[in-house]
Amino acid sequence: MHIQAIRGLQPNFEAAQVNILATSDNHGNVHSLPLLSQTIENNKKDIFVNSEDPSTLNIFAIAGDWFINPSKRGYLTKPNMTNGDIQLQFLTKFINYVNGQSGKNSNFDTVFTLGNHDLDAGDRFMYKVMRNAKMKTLVTNVDVEHSPGIQKLMLNTDKVVKSVVYDVQDDKDPGLKHKVLFIGVTIPSMKFYNPGLLKTMSFYDDCNKKDANLTPADLQGTFAAVRKEVEAFKKKNPKGAVVLLSHTGAPISKMIRDEVPQINVVLNGHDHKNLTSLKGKTNINSLGKDNEIIKSLNLHFNDEGDLESIDMNTFFSKTTVKDKLATNVLQKALEESFAKDVEPLVSLTNITGKPVSLDYGESIRFQNSYLANWLTSAVKRSVRTITGDPNVIVGIQSSIIRGGIKDGSSNLDIMKIFDGVSEDLSDVQVGRIKGEELVGLIVENIKGNLKAPKRNTIIQWSDIQVNRTMIANILEGKIDKPFSDAIRIRNEETNEFEPIETYKQYKIAIGEKFLVKDDIEWPGRIRDRFNSMHRTYDQLLRSYIASDDINFQLKVTQKTQEQRIL
């Protein structure tokens, strides 16, 4: 794809340019970096145009969530290393690789803004990243006055900044330098995403709201912080360009654009979409997820110093010829770092013995999913074995599921399955609640899911069938039935789903991340009746698949293929 997003007037007279290679929401998928890096190498002439010209600046921009669940362990090759250790190691390798593709003599730098998953292990881990990684971290909407950890970093390194201005030398006039401002905004809802984990870092507008529920009234501090940086820059450099790295999702990025229309480019993360929109002179590019795409933008300045045009290209890693990976430096690093972890470990077949796969997709957040069915049932087996209770029902927030299972899955694949929640908030807890309370909990979850299916994610259950469609119809007044009619529970003797009993006590297991929620009603009502298992979903899954009677020989049964979300 090739567009000119801003005035395309006489591009042949361009006097300087900025090449930006942008990615976001990598989610620690180091195993797909060789494919992404090869995609860059295959297209570097279109990405880094005139890269070694003195009047060209090359920027690698990461709009958040390079990391995910940094404190998690489980590697076979390097058991003492965490997710964060490995992801930081490969961040350095990837930055070096991109720098090499831009040309040894090019003007090159890397800019980064924090995503919510980057802070899954709290702020201390990210301070290590900010100090050691070869990049500038943009913290425009961090409340530095109330962030002693950030204050300390800013005193000791120039890598952590509210904003950064780059000079681009004009190709004809030695006295003319074109200016580009880079700023970075993080979704401020840390009380929602990582409650209690940030000790010495604070964001403006921090609140216990999911991004789908944030309004302009909730973001006034963020708008003010962005406006302050942009207006100060524009006062000195009225013709300068402004680029925002925004890990907020497109709806909030559009709010920022409306409040600060001087922004030229928004590199948007968090919503996992591949979208481009243009309003006024602001180009918003959403950057996808999981190394599936990478985008390049070429900003052209003319002889008068005006930003004349912006060209944009999208490159899909799935189109890369994989046989080129044999000599790829990141592929070799991957094989060295994960020798044991990349070996096939799992056998997954159906009841006839034929190899099958349980694929991950974002539809798991709002629809029936065979993968979710299998995972909830597998975790349930471990929970019931440990508790000695044959009737425990397991619920899993679908947002924490980030990977599927196939015949030949490796340990690296297994580690990705429950990667959507911090280890510090992934403890599974068990408690008893009445049927009417379970109905209330489920209906509240479905209401939120109907409002924003991909952001307010559904809870998938091991032994509960939820008629999402009926609940929607009841809410809309299309049918007059009690909500309990939309929820059925498995009879362990007949294996059939039966009506829920209002006053019966049901024992459920669910994650700490759900029970600590204060932005919805039901967690606060029931949390004091739950006790910790001192095990995470990941640990419970591994306990099941490595048990003596399973031994990594997994099967898709009829129960896996049933409809639990209608």
Please say whether the beta carbons of 372 and 364 come within 8 A.
yes
Q: First vs last Cα of the chain: how many Å apart? A: 38
228 three-class SS:
helix
Mark whether 22 and 84 lie in a shared domain. yes
Residue 230 lies in a domain: yes
pLDDT at 172 over 90: no
- Structural tokens at position 24: 């976001």
Q: Which amino acid is at 564?
A: R
Mark whether 171 and 244 lie in a shared domain. yes
The predicted structure's pLDDT at residue 353? 84
C-alpha to C-alpha distance for 156 and 151, rounded to whole angstroms: 9
Q: H helices within 157-272, ranges in order? A: 190-193, 220-236, 250-259
Mark whether 309 and 397 lie in a shared domain. no
C-alpha to C-alpha distance for 219 and 156, rounded to whole angstroms: 30
> 406 - beta bridge partners?
357
Q: What is the mean pLDDT of residues 99-118?
A: 93
The predicted structure's pLDDT at residue 238? 94
Count Cα neighbours of 251 within 13 Å in the Cβ-side half-sphere. 12
pTM for the predicted model, two decimal places: 0.84
pLDDT at 537 over 90: yes
Q: What is the mean pLDDT of residues 279-289?
A: 90
Mean residue pLDDT across the chain: 92
Q: What is the mean pLDDT of residues 285-296?
A: 95
Mark whether 178 and 241 lie in a shared domain. yes
Q: How confident is the model at residue 277 (pLDDT cuts 50, 70, 90)?
A: confident
C-alpha to C-alpha distance for 261 and 297, rounded to whole angstroms: 19
CATH number at residue 178: 3.60.21.10
C-alpha to C-alpha distance for 247 and 559, rounded to whole angstroms: 39
Mark whether 174 and 34 lie in a shared domain. yes
Other beta carbons within 10 Å of 458: 26
Q: Torsions phi, psi of 403, nearest 5? A: -160, 155
Q: Considering only CA atoms, which of 206, 185, 285 is closest in space to residue 198?
A: 206
Burial class (CB in 10 A: 0-12, 13-18, 19+), 352: exposed
Mark whether 230 and 264 lie in a shared domain. yes
Mark whether 168 and 20 lie in a shared domain. yes
The predicted structure's pLDDT at residue 319? 84
Distances (CA, A) of 407 to 161, 344, 352, 489, 557: 46, 8, 14, 31, 15
Please say whether the beta carbons of 358 and 348 come within 8 A.
yes
The predicted structure's pLDDT at residue 386? 95
How many structural domains are present in the chain? 2
- The parent domain of residue 161 ranges over 3-323
pLDDT at 1 over 60: no
What percent of the chain is predicted at pLDDT more than 90? 77
Other beta carbons within 10 Å of 188: 27
pLDDT digits (tens, 9 = 90+) for 404-453: 999 999 998 999 999 888 888 889 999 999 999 999 999 999 999 999 88
Mark whether 7 and 145 lie in a shared domain. yes
pLDDT digits (tens, 9 = 90+) for 295-321: 999 999 988 888 989 999 999 998 887
Residue 17 lies in a domain: yes
Residue 312 per-residue DSSP state: E
C-alpha to C-alpha distance for 48 and 57, rounded to whole angstroms: 9
C-alpha to C-alpha distance for 161 and 177, rounded to whole angstroms: 22
Please say whether the beta carbons of 234 and 163 come within 8 A.
no
Domain end position, chosen among 292, 323, 354: 323
pLDDT digits (tens, 9 = 90+) for 224-272: 999 999 999 999 999 999 999 999 999 999 999 999 999 999 999 999 9
Please say whether the beta carbons of 265 and 22 come within 8 A.
no
pLDDT at 342 over 90: no
Domain end position, chosen among 254, 289, 323: 323
Q: What is the mean pLDDT of residues 204-216?
A: 90
Mark whether 291 and 348 lie in a shared domain. no
Burial class (CB in 10 A: 0-12, 13-18, 19+), 237: middle
Residue 548 lies in a domain: yes
Mark whether 382 and 487 lie in a shared domain. yes
Domain end position, chosen among 269, 293, 323: 323
Sequence-separated (6 or more) residues with CB below 8 Å from residue 248:
185, 186, 187, 211, 256, 268, 269, 270
What percent of the chain is predicted at pLDDT more than 70? 98
Mark whether 302 and 356 lie in a shared domain. no
CATH number at residue 481: 3.90.780.10
Residue 336 lies in a domain: no
Q: Which amino acid is at 57?
A: L
Residue 173 lies in a domain: yes
Residue 334 lies in a domain: no
Sequence-separated (6 or more) residues with CB below 8 Å from residue 53:
171
Q: Considering only CA atoms, which of 37, 41, 76 is closest in space to residue 337?
A: 76
- Structural tokens at position 134: 């070869």
Residue 383 lies in a domain: yes
Q: Considering only CA atoms, which of 178, 71, 182, 174 is closest in space to residue 126?
A: 71
Other beta carbons within 10 Å of 196: 11
Mark whether 404 and 517 lie in a shared domain. yes
pLDDT at 220 over 90: yes
Residue 415 lies in a domain: yes
The predicted structure's pLDDT at residue 114? 97
Q: How confident is the model at residue 14 (pLDDT cuts 50, 70, 90)?
A: low
498 three-class SS:
strand
